[in-house]
Amino acid sequence: MREFTFARAATVEDALDAPRGAVFLAGGTTVVDLMKLDVLRPRVVVDINALPLREITVDGTGLTVASGVRMGDLATHAEVVRAFPLVVEALLAGASQQIRNMASIGGNLLQRTRCGYFRDVCSACNRRAPGSGCAAIDGANRTHAVLGTSPSCVATHPSDLAVALTALDATVRVTGHGGEREVPLREFYRVPGDTPRIENVLGAGELIIAVHVPHPPAEARTTYVKVRDRASYEFALSSAAVVIEARDNVIAGARIAVGGVATVPWRLPAVEAALIGLPATPGGFGDVVARAADGASALTQNGYKIPLLEHTVLRAIEEVFAR
């Protein structure tokens, strides 16, 4: 780890006044790892744990979570467990208890990719070193993305929580010297294109201060399915967050987001549209989920993710109705 200056912010304004390029530290479960690996080399690290960003509120508008809330506190909050089970499922699937005790909600949404080449400073990686190339394209790419990729980057987005929040139409509240703004989470992340180093729409000096999740419709059913190499603390090979509204035993609305297969949390509008009007009973969704991999492009070792994605979405839809 390289030498850096450590500072503590007592207020949001203090944090916004941090020098350009400073790294914010909350739980530190990703930041500290990347600093140890020499992937992150900040000159200034600003501890933001003293900021008043620890509130969880459930009211008529939905769930509002301050960015400093720990994953474990959100996953065990009684009102969240009752009203937002999809959020809880994703949190529990996303990290071990020890990490949930430390990791913040804002940090989870901003965590960096788990691509091994990104974490190896001796390998080419356009996210870490723009213009150096992408070693994963012709390398060990079994766990990499098949959706939202480019010739510059094929790394998957790592957050389970972001997938669930995308399906729930969550928004992110961001603040900076120019004031506050709200960004739909679906628009918050950027596909790599030819600038993979730019991973989201945060401007210089901006800070996530809260996430808002509207209540799903009263008749909505939800689930989160995660497929991984092992059951204990592992990133998704494929995952699906499903929100389905049924009226008079007919599907009236659907929102589906997937993870583990794309460079950002990925919505499936074609599948969502195809589900509307179908009977709200198990079975008969095979043709619909075939649309899940529209636009997918496999690499040398991850072609299995295309049928896996379809089966994951099918399993999630069937699980919703089985409940």
Q: What is the pLDDT of residues 256-275, one digit of tens each?
A: 999 999 999 999 999 999 99
Q: Half-sphere exposure of 85 toward its Cβ, with a 13 Å CA cutoff? A: 11
Confidence bin at 284 (pLDDT 50/70/90): confident
Q: Give the tokens for residue 131.
A: 């213009």
- pLDDT above 80 for 103: yes
- Can you tell me the mean pLDDT for 98-107? 96
Contact 6, 31 (CB under 8 A): no
CA–CA dist 77, 190 (Å, integer)? 31
* Coil, helix or strand at residue 161: helix
Confidence bin at 282 (pLDDT 50/70/90): confident
pLDDT at residue 205, as a whole number: 84
Q: Record the pTM.
A: 0.96
pLDDT at residue 35, as a whole number: 96
- Can you tell me the mean pLDDT for 108-124? 97
pLDDT at residue 1, as a whole number: 79
Average pLDDT, the chain: 96
CA–CA dist 156, 296 (Å, integer)? 13
pLDDT at residue 322, as a whole number: 86
Structural domains of the chain ordered from first start: 5-47 (3.30.43), 220-322 (3.30.390.50)
- pLDDT above 80 for 323: no
Q: Give the tokens for residue 144.
A: 């990499």
pLDDT at residue 106, as a whole number: 97
pLDDT at residue 231, as a whole number: 85
- pLDDT above 90 for 101: yes
pLDDT at residue 283, as a whole number: 86
